[in-house]
Structure 1
Amino acid sequence: MHRWLFILLLFSTHLALAQFGKNCEVRQFKLNIFNPGIEYEMGLGVNSTLDVRIAWQLALDPFAMEPIENYEFFPAITVQNRYYYNFGSRGRRGRQIYGNSANYVAPTISIFEPGSRLVEGEIAEGVYGAAGLVTGLQRSYNSGLSFSIDVGAGYYVGPFRGGIYPMFNISLGWIISEKRWCVGR
């Protein structure tokens, strides 16, 4: 009985120590210029972060008859739980992982508040949202320059007939504040 408790304790200690180091930055604030706004990314685990973005975001207009052909800039809040899956391989190849420079997959939720506007001869108004899964990459440089791009699909809901449409984001800007904890370069 004591032997099993000792093995369990040893295994638990090993798991706790394995979770101590992080590949992700503890936190970083970014100022975006392509989608004007701010972004906050906080490390949650060894390879995962919570990313919150408040910006004027380029998005498709699901109120239009052909939403995939109509894009506009709308005020939006986007939340992603990013899992970076290639920190290890980037580190082994001598590539930088500063600023969470890696590829990721993320469930994402976006809420858009476009306000009242004229779409195809009718007044469209109301908040709408989308939830889906995206994959992307993020690269940051020592100068503070940072960009990310992600694409995927999501289900759009709101005062229109919901449906599955593409989701995408391009962020280009600067890291204005950070708390580093990168294990890599």
Structure 2
Amino acid sequence: MKKNCLFLFLSVLFVNALQAQSDAPVAITVVKNQFKINMLFPGFVYEHGFDAKNTLYSEVTLGVGYRYSSYYGESSWFVFPAINEQFRHYYNLEKRATKAKRTACNSGNFVAGSAYYNFKSLNTNEKYGNYDPSFTIAALWGFQRTYKGRFNLEVHLGPGINFDKYDTEFVPVSNVTLGWVIGK
């Protein structure tokens, strides 16, 4: 009788252990290495995941700017190369997974600390002068979604501080990226 009770007790523990393992949440993590091509503003992105929810995002792109001069009553567009580095923390990957939403290719919401460096403009306007290099640091909130076919949409925005040789000022920072994830 004691053997039967012991066998029944051990069987119940074994079945409970198996059930607990099947109910355990699957660990959702960011992609270790991800490359993207930005089509809206031509550029390349590399995102390196260094733990379950944090990545280092590196982007090289061409930026576009706009100026208006009330003195001349004219406006001017300028194009400049830019580098963007961000430390991202993806905070809702598990929640998206439990709702059966995509988390592939870092599809989730994030907060980030960002540093932008905008180089001197490639084009000039004699009335406005050159667009000089600047450095911007910002706190950002954003989201990234990668759909079937690896089409990628990313939006981020937040407050920043811009430094150039003439001025230091608070600026809004925003970006929209349309492109494709390349590789595996």
Cα deviation, 1:89-139, whole Å, max 9, x if unaligned, reads 1011111100100000000000001336338x3423532110011100000
Aligned mates of 1:72, 1:149 — CA distance in 2? 22
What is the TM-score normalised by the length of structure 2?
0.75
Alignment equivalent of 1:107, drawn from 71, 92, 113: 113
Aligned mates of 2:157, 2:77 — CA distance in 1? 15
* Structure 2 CA distance for partners of 1:73 and 1:151, relative to 1, 3 Å: farther
* Structure 2 CA distance for partners of 1:176 and 1:155, relative to 1, 3 Å: same
- Contact map agreement 1:22 1:45 (CA 8 A) in 2: no
Alignment equivalent of 1:152, drawn from 150, 158, 175: 158
| Count of residues in correspondence between the two structures | 153
Report the AA paired with residue 140 of structure 1: T
Aligned mates of 1:149, 1:83 — CA distance in 2? 15
* Structure 2 CA distance for partners of 1:72 and 1:85, relative to 1, 3 Å: farther
Aligned mates of 1:48, 1:58 — CA distance in 2? 29
1:170 paired with 2:176, answer yes
2:17 corresponds in structure 1 to none
Alignment equivalent of 1:81, drawn from 73, 78, 87: 87
Moved more, 52-61 or 87-96: 52-61
Unaligned runs of 5+ in 2: 1-26
What is the TM-score normalised by the length of structure 1?
0.74
Partner-residue secondary structure (3-state), 2:95: helix
Unaligned runs of 5+ in 1: 1-20, 179-185
Partner-residue secondary structure (3-state), 2:104: coil
Report the AA paired with residue 51 of structure 1: Y
Partner-residue secondary structure (3-state), 2:97: helix
1:23 paired with 2:40, answer no
> After superposition, where does 1:111-130 map in structure 2 within 5 Å?
111-115=117-121, 117-118=124-125, 121-130=127-136
* Structure 2 CA distance for partners of 1:72 and 1:136, relative to 1, 3 Å: farther
Report the AA paired with residue 95 of structure 1: K
Which runs of structure 1 show a deviation greater than 3 angstroms over 4 or more consecutive aligned residues?
58-61, 69-73
1:142 corresponds in structure 2 to 148
* Structure 2 CA distance for partners of 1:135 and 1:31, relative to 1, 3 Å: same
- Contact map agreement 1:27 1:40 (CA 8 A) in 2: yes
Report the AA paired with residue 136 of structure 1: G
Partner-residue secondary structure (3-state), 2:181: strand
- Contact map agreement 2:135 2:164 (CA 8 A) in 1: yes
Aligned mates of 1:132, 1:59 — CA distance in 2? 18
Partner-residue secondary structure (3-state), 1:117: coil
- Contact map agreement 1:37 1:55 (CA 8 A) in 2: yes
* CA RMSD between the two structures: 2.4
Partner-residue secondary structure (3-state), 2:177: strand
The percent identity for this pair of structures is 25
Aligned mates of 1:28, 1:112 — CA distance in 2? 23
